[in-house]
C-alpha cells in the first residue's frame, strides 16, 4: 500500500474525480441513461477528454434533460468499443454500492479492520453511498471475488460485483429521485491498495450471485450459455429471494446497457417472464400439495 498521510479529505468536481480515478490517457466508459425514455448512450473516451469543459458541458446538458450520468470504474483497452470483461485493460478499482442501510454499512466499513480506508465516498442520495478503493496488482478474477466478498460482508448491492460496473459521476443530479439530489464525491486518501490490504472472508456458496456468475462457473460443466439465459436465471434467483422487481430491472438494464439498444425494455421483459415462470412453478407446487392433502384424507399414499 502506498499513501500520502498528509492529504486532507476534500470534495471533488466531476473533472477532478475523473482525473483522480484514472491516468489522463486511460480509455474510460461514460454511460448516459434516461429512465423516462429508455434511451442509453455509452461513450468511450480518454479521461482527459471526459474531464475537459466541453465534454462536461455535454454531460450537464444530458443531465438537465433527465439523464443519469455514470462512469466505468476500470479503464478500457485501446481500440475497444464496448464495456465487456474482455475489454477491460486492467483493474484499477474495487467498490461497493450501499443502497440499503447505507449509513450503517458505511460506518461498518470505516470501523472494520478487514477493509482499509476508502479512497472515495460518494453520496448518491439520502442515506445511500458508493465507496471506491484504488488498487493495483489484482487480476480480474481476484477483483471480482473481492467485490463479492465486500458486498457480502458489508451489505453492498450484489449486482455491483463485476469489473465492468459503472457508478455515478459526482456533480450531477440523481434523476432517479423525485427531488433533485446532486451526487457528491469526497476523496479521503490517495492510497493505492494491494489484495493483502483486504482481510475479507471469502464469499460463501450462499453469497448473492452477480449477473454472469453462472457463465463463469458452469461453462465447463454444461457448455456455453448465452448472457440472456444468465440474465433470466439471475432474475429468477433475485425474485425468489424477495428482491424488488424494479431494482432487479435496474440492475439488469445497467449491466446490459453497453450491448442492448433498449436495455430498460429488455430488462423489464426478462423480469416479467421470470415472474410468470415463478408463478407457474408455484401453481404446480400448490397443486401437488393439494393432491397430497387429498390423498391423506382418502387414505391413499403417494
Hey, which bits of 73-127 come out as E strands?
A: 93-98, 120-125
Cβ contact 43:30 at 8 Å: yes
**Whether residue 56 is found in the same domain as residue 202:** yes
- Does position 52 have pLDDT exceeding 90, yes or no? yes
| Residue-number span of the structural domain to which 181 is assigned | 10-210
Residues 198-245: tens digit of each pLDDT: 987 654 333 333 333 433 444 444 455 567 877 888 888 888 877 788
Q: What is the mean pLDDT of residues 176-182?
A: 89
How far, in Å, CA of 297 to CA of 302, rounded? Answer: 12
Residue 8 cell numbers, joined: 486532507
| Among the listed residues 164, 174, 210, the one whose alpha carbon sits nearest the alpha carbon of residue 44 | 164
Mean pLDDT within 58-70: 96
Average pLDDT over every residue of 57-67: 96
Q: How far apart are the C-alpha atoms of 16 and 71, rounded to whole Å?
A: 13
- pLDDT for 302 beyond 70: no
For residue 97, the domain's CATH number is 3.30.70.1790
Q: What is the mean pLDDT of residues 23-36?
A: 95
Q: Do 259 and 152 lie in a common domain?
A: no
pLDDT at 103 over 60: yes
Mean pLDDT computed over every residue of the chain: 83
pLDDT of the residue at 115 = 94
Q: Cβ of 254: how many Cβ atoms within 10 Å?
A: 23
Asked whether residue 224 falls in the same domain as residue 105, the answer is no
Phi-psi region of 174 (alpha: psi -120 to 50; beta: other; left: phi over 0): beta
pLDDT at res. 217: 46
119-155 per-position pLDDT tens digit: 999 999 999 999 999 999 999 999 998 998 999 889 8
To which residue does cell 492510497 refer? 191
Q: How far apart are the first and last CA of the chain?
A: 64
Q: Which of these, 50, 95, 102, 43, lies nearest to 73 by C-alpha position?
A: 95
- 182 belongs to a structural domain: yes
Same domain, 200 and 257: no
Cα–Cα distance for residue pair 125/120, rounded to 1 Å = 16
Q: Which of 242-246, 257-261, 289-293 has the highest mean pLDDT?
A: 242-246
Residues 14 and 158 in one domain: yes
Q: How many angstroms separate the Cα of 251 from the Cα of each of 42, 75, 264?
A: 16, 21, 10
Number of domains, the chain: 2
Which segments within the chain are labelled E, that is strand? 10-12, 27-34, 39-46, 67-72, 93-98, 120-125, 128-134, 166-168, 184-187
Amino acid at each position: 500500500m502506498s499513501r500520502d498521510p498528509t492529504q486532507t479529505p476534500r470534495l471533488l468536481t466531476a473533472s477532478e474525480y475523473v482525473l483522480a480515478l484514472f491516468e489522463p490517457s486511460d480509455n474510460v466508459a461514460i454511460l448516459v441513461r434516461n429512465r423516462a425514455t429508455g434511451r442509453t448512450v455509452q461513450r468511450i473516451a480518454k479521461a482527459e477528454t471526459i474531464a475537459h469543459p466541453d465534454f462536461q458541458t455535454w454531460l450537464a446538458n444530458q443531465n438537465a434533460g433527465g439523464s443519469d450520468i455514470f462512469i466505468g470504474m476500470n479503464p478500457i483497452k485501446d481500440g475497444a468499443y464496448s464495456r465487456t470483461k474482455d475489454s477491460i485493460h486492467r483493474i484499477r478499482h474495487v467498490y461497493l454500492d450501499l443502497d440499503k442501510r447505507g449509513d450503517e454499512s458505511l460506518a461498518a466499513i470505516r470501523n472494520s479492520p478487514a477493509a482499509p480506508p476508502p479512497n472515495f465516498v460518494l453520496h448518491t442520495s439520502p442515506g445511500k453511498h458508493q465507496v471506491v478503493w484504488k488498487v493495483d496488482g489484482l487480476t480480474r478474477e481476484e477483483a471480482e471475488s473481492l467485490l463479492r466478498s465486500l458486498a457480502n460482508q458489508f451489505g453492498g448491492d450484489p449486482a455491483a460485483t463485476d469489473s465492468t460496473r459503472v457508478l455515478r459521476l459526482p456533480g450531477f443530479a440523481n434523476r432517479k429521485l423525485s427531488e433533485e439530489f446532486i451526487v457528491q464525491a469526497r476523496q479521503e486518501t490517495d492510497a493505492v491498495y494491494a489484495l493483502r490490504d483486504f482481510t475479507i472472508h471469502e464469499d460463501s456458496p450462499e453469497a448473492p450471485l452477480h449477473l454472469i456468475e453462472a457463465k463463469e462457473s458452469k461453462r465447463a460443466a454444461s457448455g456455453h450459455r448465452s448472457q440472456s439465459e444468465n440474465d433470466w436465471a439471475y432474475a429468477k434467483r433475485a425474485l425468489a429471494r424477495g428482491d424488488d422487481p424494479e431494482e432487479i430491472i435496474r440492475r439488469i438494464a445497467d449491466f446490459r446497457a453497453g450491448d442492448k439498444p433498449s436495455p430498460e425494455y429488455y430488462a423489464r421483459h426478462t423480469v416479467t417472464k421470470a415472474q410468470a415462470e415463478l408463478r407457474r412453478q408455484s401453481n404446480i407446487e400448490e397443486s401437488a400439495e393439494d393432491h397430497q392433502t387429498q390423498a391423506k384424507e382418502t387414505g391413499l399414499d403417494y
